[in-house]
Amino acid sequence: MQKGVDMFDQFRVLWWYLLIYVEHSAFLSRFETDEEGSVVEKVILTAIFAALAITIGAIIVSKVTAKANSINLN
């Protein structure tokens, strides 16, 4: 006969996961460096990705337009 898992065991597992997460986060926060200039880097990366998206969109529009214009409607 298979033993069921009671609610207390589930809470105990969740409690241990929470403790491990908090301790791990506290451990990693000791090694974080100063984040000066990170806003500038994020703005530059966002601008690069926006430019890439606009370029890809323009390429797709031009190819679809060229294909649509090549269709013979007669």
Domain ranges of the chain: 38-74
- Mean of per-residue pLDDT scores for the chain: 81
- Residue 17 reports pLDDT greater than 90: no
Interatomic CA distance for residues 39 and 46, integer angstroms:
10
Q: Could you give the CA distance from residue 46 to residue 74 in angstroms, rounded to a whole number?
A: 46
More confident residue, 68 or 41: 68
Q: Which of 32-41, 42-51, 63-72 has the lowest mean pLDDT?
A: 32-41
User: Whole-angstrom distance between the N-terminal and C-terminal Cα of the chain?
Assistant: 76
Check residue 1 and give its pLDDT: 44
pTM of the full predicted structure?
Answer: 0.48
Share of the chain above pLDDT 90, in %: 23
**Contacts with 40 (C-beta within 8 Å, 6 or more apart), sequence order:** none
